[in-house]
Amino acid sequence: MTLSTTLLPALLGFGTGLALIVAIGAQNAFLLKLGLTGRNGLVAAVVAICAISDAVLIVVGVLGIGAVIEAAPVALVIIRVLGSVFLITYGLFAAWRAFKPKALEPGAASPRISLRAAVFTALALTWLNPHVYLDTVLLLGSVANQQGEAERWWWAAGAVLASFTWFTLLGFGARLLRPFFAKPSSWRVLDALIAVVMLALGIRMALGH
């Protein structure tokens, strides 16, 4: 093995993976807000769910399951309908919170969300989003399979590492913004942005875009 068959494919996979996941989306918005609470146990659980889910889907894509999804488009239709309902509902709740913002006081109790609710939300935002399948299984999987037999797995490893790196930085790096979110107006802006993102994604998903 040489650098051209190991390190280079891994770096290309890392860069491509980051390009797809570093964006304002439902999954990232939820993790950002959870990270602001400073509850490391919940953040770690959600980071693990997001990163491991991406890893599973990328591996599935490399194994060629993307062709199966293309052959059974009804599966994506069902996921699209369920996902749009979930995102629109989540967006409406975020819009409601924007009208009644709360400050994040240093030393005060963090906004409450149970581990079960955090896990369920993370799973729903990941597995009920058809764009996740398009980005990971179909897109990343197809690009990986354009590499050589051995190189494709190094490329996939780089893409998986990108997911773990991004979600970890987003979840645990959000605490640096805690002073900013000590003001209710900051929470109003964040919840308003989350509402816009969730509703826009949900409506687009419902329309099949």
pLDDT beyond 90 at 141: no
Q: Name residues whose C-beta falls within 8 Å of residue 138's C-beta, 6 or more positions apart in sequence.
A: 61, 66, 69, 70
Q: What is the percent of the chain with per-residue pLDDT over 90, rounded to a whole number? A: 18
DSSP state of 36: H
Is the separation of the CB atoms in 46 and 118 below 8 Å? Answer: yes
Greater model confidence, 166 or 75: 166
CB-based burial, 8-33: b 16+ in 10 Å, e otherwise:
bbbebbbebbbebbeeebbbbbbbbb
pLDDT digits (tens, 9 = 90+) for 98-119: 777 554 443 344 457 889 999 9
User: Per the structure block, which two tokens stand in for 3?
Assistant: 């650098």
pLDDT at res. 81: 79
Q: Token match 């969300």: residue?
A: 113
pLDDT digits (tens, 9 = 90+) for 159-199: 999 999 999 998 998 888 777 766 777 777 777 877 887 78
pLDDT at res. 40: 85
Measuring CA to CA, which residue among 165, 199, 189 is closest to residue 101? 189
Is the pTM higher than 0.75? The answer reads no
DSSP state of 1: -
Confidence of residue 36 (pLDDT cuts 50, 70, 90): confident
pLDDT beyond 80 at 139: no
- Over residues 125-136, mean pLDDT: 81
Using DSSP's 3-state secondary structure scheme, residue 128 falls into: coil
Residue type, 39: R
Greater model confidence, 2 or 17: 17
Is the separation of the CB atoms in 4 and 150 below 8 Å? Answer: no
Highest mean pLDDT among 11-15, 16-20, 159-163: 159-163
- Over residues 143-155, mean pLDDT: 80
Q: What is the percent of the chain with per-residue pLDDT over 70, rounded to a whole number? A: 80
